[in-house]
Amino acid sequence: MAALKYAGMDDTDSDDELPPGWEERSTRDGWVYYANHDEMKTQWEHPKTGKKKRCAGDLPYGWEQETDEKGQIVYVDHINKRTTYFDPRQAFTVEDVVVKPKRYDGNTAALEILQGRDLSDKVVLITGGNSGIGFETARSFALHGAHVILACRNLSRAIKAVNVIQQEWHKARVEAMMCDLASLRSVREFAESFKARKLPLHVLVCNAAVCTQPWSFTEDGLESTFQICHLGHFLLVQCLQDVLRCSAPARVVVVSSESHRFTDLLDSCGKVDLALLSPSKKEYWSMLAYNRAKLCNILFSNELHRRLSPHGVTSNAVHPGNMMYTSIHQSWWLMTFLFTLARPFTKSMQQGAATTVYCAMAPELEGLGGMYFNNCFRCLPSIQAQDQSSAVSLWELSERGDGRRFGTNSGIS
């Protein structure tokens, strides 16, 4: 793992390049000074630009300042197991200039966005964090010190994922908890166990999904794709909303898809229709069910933001990328075939996780939500996904359950 890269130490800045014989050092409290070995002198000003600098913030996550046997300050990178006299904070020195937010795009990796960030005061919960994009998202947060909880339906797969991350960084605070989104009882039990731990919750990533799986009903009497992708997450957020509010500023990121554009949720009277969302076996087409669930994700995120942002909790929806080779295609041979053909041209998992990580952590998005992002960039979702009355109808339907036995009274008005 290139912790040096996350720390920004591979960046060079030609204006700042030192003349021969000079070396940049920093004091214990972060002031930068310049040493000239030929002339045996030190000074605070940069020998070329004349500017003074000091290190911004703390050492990158995983680094510690120590003193060697000669009394010299050294910096130990525990993740890469290396020691250097160069203060890694020098990659983040501040002068009297305004730092503009960095621009990211479809090629940006999640770890690049978190470069230099210490997230050790953050608690992050990710549904379906044991594989694919969710796993890369979890890994990226954990390698930057966040306490990450993987909420997964299969505990042994989730524990394997935890072990992989901890093998990479033994101090990673990542753990697995059981949460099957196909069971409202399991979601409630998960929320109770989570709350019993009295942890804050700064980021909730609604990532888990299934796609093109054969028709099945859940124990709650609903079509599985709809329940796993939308209703399970809806209930999870309701159950944890008090924790999110107490942890404000907190962010929810709902992982949707561009495929939301190929469908709608309205019946002939223009109302959000449960029969379309949770169809019978006769009416079911697996791809359509997925597209509808992904449209629900955006409508849910928008309405959640409208209701919770006055309490310091924002929500954004994201498209992670097209046809990335995860496990999502495995329920149908045709999808597997198409994903295999597309594989050489699609994003890496790290790139797939980037937009979620961006929405969860970008300082410039503090307090902002109700938006849809693709390639770390805000874009407009389909017309129906922007429609507030559809969002309200979906919310009420999810909460009320139209007389069926799902949902909960959210108390989010």
Ligand X SMILES: NC(=O)c1ccc[n+]([C@@H]2O[C@H](COP(=O)([O-])OP(=O)(O)OC[C@H]3O[C@@H](n4cnc5c(N)ncnc54)[C@H](OP(=O)(O)O)[C@@H]3O)[C@@H](O)[C@H]2O)c1
Catalytic residues: 290
Binding span for ligand X by CB under 6 A among 8-16, 103-111, 188-196, 207-215: 207-215
**355 near ligand X, judged by CB under 6 A:** no
CB burial class (10 A; 0-12, 13-18, 19+) of residue 5? middle
Between CA 224 and CA 1 the distance in angstroms is: 38
CA atoms within 13 Å, Cβ hemisphere of 263 = 22
CB atoms within 10 A of CB 293: 29
* Closest separation in Å from C-beta 406 to ligand X: 14
By C-beta, is 182 or 313 nearer to ligand X?
A: 182
* Closest separation in Å from C-beta 158 to ligand X: 8
The residue among 175, 171, 176, 66 whose CA lies nearest residue 118 is: 171
Binding span for ligand X by CB under 6 A among 30-38, 92-100, 179-187, 359-367: 179-187
**134 near ligand X, judged by CB under 6 A:** yes
Tokens of 218: 């859940």
Question: Which residue in 7, 125, 181, 277 binds ligand X (CB under 6 A)?
Answer: 181
Tokens of 125: 């919960």
**316 near ligand X, judged by CB under 6 A:** no
Between CA 402 and CA 162 the distance in angstroms is: 39
Binding span for ligand X by CB under 6 A among 243-251, 318-326, 366-374, 383-391: 318-326
Instruction: Note if the bond before 249 is cis, omega within 30 degrees.
Output: yes
The residue among 160, 126, 131 whose CA lies nearest residue 142 is: 126
Q: Are 113 and 4 in contact (CB under 8 A)?
A: no
Question: Which residue in 212, 238, 316, 326 binds ligand X (CB under 6 A)?
Answer: 326
Show the CA angle centred on residue 137, arms to residues 131 and 143, nearest 5°: 110
The residue among 41, 40, 50, 55 whose CA lies nearest residue 18 is: 50
Question: Which residue in 55, 113, 148, 152 binds ligand X (CB under 6 A)?
Answer: 152
Residue nearest to ligand X (CB): 132
Tokens of 204: 């909730």
* Closest separation in Å from C-beta 132 to ligand X: 2
b/e burial code for range 401-410 (CB count within 10 A of at least 16 → b): beeeebbbeb
* Closest separation in Å from C-beta 4 to ligand X: 28
**365 near ligand X, judged by CB under 6 A:** no
**153 near ligand X, judged by CB under 6 A:** yes
Binding span for ligand X by CB under 6 A among 132-140, 196-204, 270-278, 382-390: 132-140
Binding span for ligand X by CB under 6 A among 180-188, 196-204, 278-286, 382-390: 180-188
**132 near ligand X, judged by CB under 6 A:** yes
Q: Are 200 and 123 in contact (CB under 8 A)?
A: yes
Between CA 90 and CA 328 the distance in angstroms is: 42
* Closest separation in Å from C-beta 256 to ligand X: 7
By C-beta, is 33 or 215 nearer to ligand X?
A: 215
By C-beta, is 154 or 410 nearer to ligand X?
A: 154
Between CA 18 and CA 13 the distance in angstroms is: 10
Question: Which residue in 228, 265, 365, 385 binds ligand X (CB under 6 A)?
Answer: 228
* Closest separation in Å from C-beta 327 to ligand X: 4
Q: Contact residues for ligand X (CB under 6 A)?
A: 127-128, 130-134, 152-154, 157, 179-182, 207-210, 228, 255, 257, 319-324, 326-328
